[in-house]
Amino acid sequence: MASSFQTLPGFRDFYPEECAVRNHLFRLWRQAAAEFGFSEWDAPVLEPLELFTEKSGEEIRRQLFEFVDKGGRAVALRPEMTPSLARMVGAKAASLRRPIKWFSIGENYRYERMQKGRGRSFYQFNADILGEAGRAADAEIIALTARALELAGLKSQDVVVRLSDRTLWFEFLSSKVAPEAVGEVLAIIDKIEREPQEKILEKLSAHCADATALLADIRAFLQINSLEALEAFLNTLADKKESLSARLNDWRALLGRLNAMGYGDWVAVDFGIVRGLAYYTGFVFEVFERSGEGRALAGGGRYDNLVAKLGGADLPACGFGMGDITLRLSLEERGLLPQFLNAPDFYAVTSGDGATQEAALADASQLRRANLRVEYALKGAAFGKQLKAASQSGAPFALLYGESEIAQNAVRVKDLTTGKESLLPRDENLTAHLVAVRRVGLPKDPCHGHEH
């Protein structure tokens, strides 16, 4: 009889091995966030539909799991955390101490075509700083992104934080196209590597008289790959000197902090990152494999106007998101996922049902109350068969309860690796003794022990 029920496409079952990997990533993320002094928050998986359309426009609905609930409300499973963040921070903006440094680990849902590294449900680590407009906040966000990857075992030789600047793109383009067209031009630039040149030129010509010249200027801008190159490039521009040189100072401050924190070699100046989303306002970044393969491991940037729009509080903000699926693939390919063992600390083996079993249950319960992991057979079985199960469980030690041990009010502890045994009295110190055995092994010269 086979079950007809299937997991929905794009959703994932987490069997214990998978769940252990997921929880490992969650632990890394929580650890990194704690080191940087961020506090965890969470929001409902279901939110009013308009919270998402207000941020991203009606077109987001194509990607949403949306419906009308039994109370007639238009609702949707969250596709991301940022709108909920803006809503929650906005609601308590007056009472929250600033800067607000929050992180979340939440599952998000998008109804989209499935491809490698992208399901319809995925976990994302988000961290945001709200209420601080300075470059120190951007640096903190970028350093935390790198730190989370570093904790996972990745190095600056493996991945790169491609750092760009929407402010500078605006400054640069607004002398060449109408200010209101800059957003559209950036969306064209976002596809510059994926679309044929004729198509790019055709699109650009809608926004300027000489598309060829504009494309050449854009390509020159895209060549910039260092602070020095940026400085040299800006010096060649005649117009807007002042605002551009102020922005150059922002770059110096940002990269200076990242260097001081030891994350300078994780970062590359790269104006190819424009972040499609319209709400980014300043520094933006995406993290990729140095090899260039695969989807972005993380991405983020500054979004100074969004909280006001969604949360009603005028708070500058920056943050990032890091998904579990791409990160997991990257760690797996590099052999950076640890082996997760679910082995007990002790496995109790008993002969018979009466006093031996009672003793085993009592001791097991005491050990569990000392936070050790203890297992035993739940079904009557021969002593030898139980001992085999003890070995198979991966437990380093077995606790043997036979008639003779019980007659002496004792338990025999067996090191399942060496085969050594030691008889311990079942007195009020037993739990403490076994906790010590778990930590440092059997006593070297056991009073009552013998070897087999």
Of residues 151-210, those binding its own copies (CB under 8 A): none
22 binding its own copies? (CB under 8 A): yes
CA 95 – CA 131 distance, rounded (Å): 12
Find out whether 452 and 423 touch, Cβ atoms under 8 Å: no
With CB under 8 A as the contact rule, which of the stretches 178-186, 195-203, 218-226, 258-266 interacts with its own copies?
Answer: 258-266
How many residues bind its own copies (CB under 8 A)? The answer is 99
Give all strands (DSSP E) within 296-358, no chain letters: 298-302, 317-323, 346-350
Token pair recorded at residue 129 = 């700083």
- In the bound state with its own copies, the residue whose beta carbon lies nearer, of 61 and 433, is 61
Token pair recorded at residue 402 = 């036979």
- In the bound state with its own copies, the residue whose beta carbon lies nearer, of 83 and 321, is 83
Q: How far is the CB of 212 from its own copies (least distance, A)?
A: 42
50 to 89: interface string for its own copies, x by CB under 8 A = xx--x----------x-xxxxx-x-x-x-----xx-xxx-
Where does 205-270 have alpha helices with state H? Answer: 211-223, 227-236, 241-260
- In the bound state with its own copies, the residue whose beta carbon lies nearer, of 73 and 116, is 73
391 binding its own copies? (CB under 8 A): no
Q: Which residue type occupies 417? A: T
Query: According to CB under 8 A, which one of 24, 36, 153, 304 is a site residue for its own copies?
Result: 36
91 binding its own copies? (CB under 8 A): yes
263 binding its own copies? (CB under 8 A): yes
Best CA proximity match to 46, nearest among 9, 89, 84: 84
- Number of C-beta neighbours around residue 447 at 10 A: 9
With CB under 8 A as the contact rule, which of the stretches 40-48, 242-250, 290-298, 420-428 interacts with its own copies?
Answer: 40-48
227 binding its own copies? (CB under 8 A): no
CA 159 – CA 150 distance, rounded (Å): 10
Q: Which residues inside 98-137 make contact with its own copies, applying CB under 8 A?
A: 99, 102, 107, 109, 111, 121, 129, 132, 134, 136-137
Query: According to CB under 8 A, which one of 28, 60, 127, 143 is a site residue for its own copies?
Result: 143
Query: According to CB under 8 A, which one of 29, 41, 271, 285 is a site residue for its own copies?
Result: 41
- In the bound state with its own copies, the residue whose beta carbon lies nearer, of 137 and 274, is 137
Token pair recorded at residue 103 = 């992180």
Best CA proximity match to 269, nearest among 134, 161, 169: 161
Task: Give Cβ neighbours of residue 78 (< 8 Å, ≥ 6 apart).
Answer: 43, 44, 45, 46, 47, 52, 84, 106, 108, 109
Q: How far is the CB of 323 from its own copies (least distance, A)?
A: 17
Rounded to a whole number of angstroms, the distance between the first and last alpha carbons of the chain is: 48
Q: How far is the CB of 368 from its own copies (least distance, A)?
A: 4
Q: Which residues inside 344-363 make contact with its own copies, applying CB under 8 A?
A: 344, 357-358, 361-362
Q: Residue 58 in 3-state DSSP?
A: helix
- In the bound state with its own copies, the residue whose beta carbon lies nearer, of 138 and 171, is 138
394 binding its own copies? (CB under 8 A): no
| Torsion, CA 176, CA 179, CA 310, CA 46, rounded to 10 | -50
9 binding its own copies? (CB under 8 A): yes
Q: Which residues inside 292-321 make contact with its own copies, applying CB under 8 A?
A: 308, 310-314
Q: Which residue type occupies 372? A: L
CA 190 – CA 192 distance, rounded (Å): 6
